[in-house]
Structures are given as structure tokens and as C-alpha cells.
Amino acid sequence: MPAPDRPVARPRPVYLNLVRIRLPLPGIVSFLHRVSGAVLFLFGIPLLLLAVQCSLATPDQFASLTSALAHPLARLAAIGFAWACLHHFCAGIRFLLLDLHIGDDLAPARRSSAVVLAVSLALTLVAGVRLW
């Protein structure tokens, strides 16, 4: 018996509205962990190495680096890098514990992600007060 010549219905692609998708708190912490790692790798390390090179070259370059870092935008960027470092560190510890199957159920995972956000923001606030 010949098969009817109907076109095969393919599933249409689904439009994902990324603005309307609501990530749970552990998903937000995971996303911020990746973003902070990328920011530290792409911008933090090169800027840190450049600052060390300028500070060790001559006393004049050290003075110019000190005056450049005294600018409010530079201090704000330093607070941003401090947040990235502290959040990446705290979330990394959380992910190491999850890899050891400590707190990997739903309720403890949500609590630990809230703790990571609170601790990283509190430590960033302390670092920001010290930097400013």
C-alpha cells in the first residue's frame, strides 16, 4: 500500500523571549558566576598586570598610576572588579560543595545561592568602603 503524499509536519522553532524567562535564584547565581569569571579573565588580569608593570617601572609611573586610581571612575571600576572576584570566589565554593553532593537538593540549593549573593554583596560593600 503506497503512503499518502502528505508533507511531513516538522516542529516549528520556538521563539524564546529572553526578557520574560524567569530564572530561579540558583540559575542567576550560576549565570553571574560565569559572567564574573569572564570579566576577571578578559579585563581583570590584563589590567592588574598592566598596573603592576606601571607601578614597578619608575617612580614617576607609580605616581601617575596612583593619581589615575584616585579618580572616582577608577575606584568604581575597582569596586566592580572586587565584586566580580568575591562573587566568583563565593559561588565557586558553592559549586565545589554541590560537586561533593552537599546541599544539592532544591531547598538547600536555593538557600546556598541566596547566601552566596548576600555574602558577596556584603564583602563587596566592605571592600568598597575601604577603597573609597
pLDDT in tens, 28-50: 999 999 999 999 999 999 999 99
CA neighbor of 119 nearest in space, from 91, 96, 100, 95: 91
Contact 69, 78 (CB under 8 A): yes
pLDDT above 90: residue 3: no
pLDDT for position 2:
59
Q: What span, in angstroms and rounded, lies between the C-alpha atoms of 103 and 86?
A: 21
Task: List, in order of start, the domains of the chain with CATH numbers.
Answer: 25-131 (1.20.1300.10)
Q: Which residue has the cell 558577596?
A: 120
How far from 130 is each of 14, 98, 118, 127, CA to CA, in Å? 49, 32, 18, 5
pLDDT for position 36:
97
